[in-house]
């Protein structure tokens, strides 16, 4: 058993990784920013600090065997350019430097399928050309490239994981979609034929754990998640069925919404105001997200256990348990 640092260990993915690592007997340390009177995670050592603070990063990395780096900035509509770069790129650079200084055995870096943007080949793979479509995706790509440059220059063992869109207990990003479908208020924008591929959190965590200390993972990038993707139109129907309501039927054209979103950004972003409507949000209805996970299956023996419908069902059950649906 080893000591593993999880940066962003109180986030959605990070907290599930912490639980899984402790369950398999590893000693776990967390680097996280404190929110209010947030308590430390029981069973893990918590270092409170910002990923942009060299001293905090150094304290967190010192003495650990491996690092799983999951910290990234919360996605906004374009009003957070400086923050996105400082957290995603400069923060990753600080983690890399600390890993080299303290002799860490391996860094597992959490990137995103977003580096591929809206994919043109269906399904996309790890070698699909980069095509970042927004600030978050662009800075995550820059961070990933920083990892590869560092690995080459320092001879450092690294693994990059690009998780497929995460859902499951602890995630609230999809809550609005589920809630509006249940309430009969969801409006479809455009034809909704773009593919979506949700991945259940436990499956993605299993992929991360397979990479730790695994020579087959060193120097590799893996797309990790489910192997089922469906058009958005079908996704909305499945969610409605699992909620026991009628599927959404109201649809509005895509182009007018895109124009309005662009106008909102043009007015708000120069003033440092988060736009009430922005193109990244509308891109949910446009972007193809369909990926092949053959590489991680073949190289590491990875096998997702939770199918698409079951993943949605478990997510709904958690939302209901929390009183949000």
Three-class secondary structure of residue 201 per DSSP: helix
Which CATH fold would you assign to the domain 3-168+199-226+291-306?
Rossmann fold (3.40.50)
Q: In whole angstroms, how large is the CA radius of gyration of the chain?
A: 20
Segments making up each domain of the chain, as ranges: 3-168+199-226+291-306
* Alpha helix ranges (H) inside 91-216: 91-101, 135-154, 175-183, 201-211
Tell me the whole-structure pTM to 2 decimals.
0.93
Confidence of residue 81 (pLDDT cuts 50, 70, 90): confident
Task: Tell me how far apart the alpha carbons of residues 195 and 287 are, in angstroms, rounded to a whole number.
Answer: 7
> Where is 100: in which H helix or E strand?
helix 91-101
Confidence of residue 283 (pLDDT cuts 50, 70, 90): confident
Mean pLDDT computed over every residue of the chain: 93
pLDDT digits (tens, 9 = 90+) for 98-112: 999 999 999 999 999
Task: Tell me how far apart the alpha carbons of residues 218 and 159 are, in angstroms, rounded to a whole number.
Answer: 5
pLDDT digits (tens, 9 = 90+) for 11-33: 999 999 999 999 999 999 999 99
pLDDT digits (tens, 9 = 90+) for 192-246: 999 999 999 999 999 999 999 999 999 999 999 999 999 999 999 999 999 999 9
Query: So what's the pLDDT on residue 36?
Result: 64
């Amino acid at each position: 058993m080893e000591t593993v640092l999880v940066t962003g260990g109180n986030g959605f993915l990070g907290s599930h990784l912490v639980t899984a690592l402790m369950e398999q007997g590893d000693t776990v340390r967390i680097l996280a920013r404190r929110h209010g009177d947030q308590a430390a995670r029981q069973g893990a050592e918590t270092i409170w600090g910002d990923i942009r603070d060299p001293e905090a990063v150094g304290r967190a990395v010192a003495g650990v065997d491996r690092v799983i780096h999951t910290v990234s900035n919360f996605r906004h509509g374009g009003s957070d350019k400086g923050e996105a770069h400082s957290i995603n790129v400069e923060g990753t650079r600080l983690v890399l430097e600390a890993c080299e200084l303290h002799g860490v055995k391996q860094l597992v870096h959490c990137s995103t399928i977003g580096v591929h943007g809206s994919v043109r080949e269906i399904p996309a793979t790890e070698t699909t050309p980069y095509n970042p479509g927004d600030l978050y995706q662009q800075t995550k790509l820059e961070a990933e490239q920083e990892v590869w440059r560092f690995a080459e220059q320092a001879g450092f063992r690294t693994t990059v994981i690009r998780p497929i869109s995460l859902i499951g207990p602890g995630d609230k990003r999809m809550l609005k979609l589920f809630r509006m479908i249940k309430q009969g208020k969801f409006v479809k924008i455009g034809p909704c034929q773009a593919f979506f591929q949700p991945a259940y959190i436990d499956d993605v965590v299993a992929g991360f754990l397979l990479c730790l200390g695994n020579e087959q993972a060193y120097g590799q990038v893996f797309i990790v998640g489910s192997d089922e993707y469906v058009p958005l139109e079908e996704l909305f129907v499945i969610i409605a069925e699992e909620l026991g309501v009628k599927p959404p039927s109201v649809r509005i054209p895509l182009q007018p919404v895109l124009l309005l979103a662009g106008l909102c950004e043009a007015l708000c972003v120069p003033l440092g105001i988060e736009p009430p409507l922005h193109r990244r949000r509308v891109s949910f209805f446009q972007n193809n997200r369909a990926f092949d996970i053959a590489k991680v299956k073949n190289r590491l023996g990875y096998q997702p256990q939770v199918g698409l419908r079951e993943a949605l069902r478990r997510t709904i059950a958690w939302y209901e348990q929390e009183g949000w649906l």
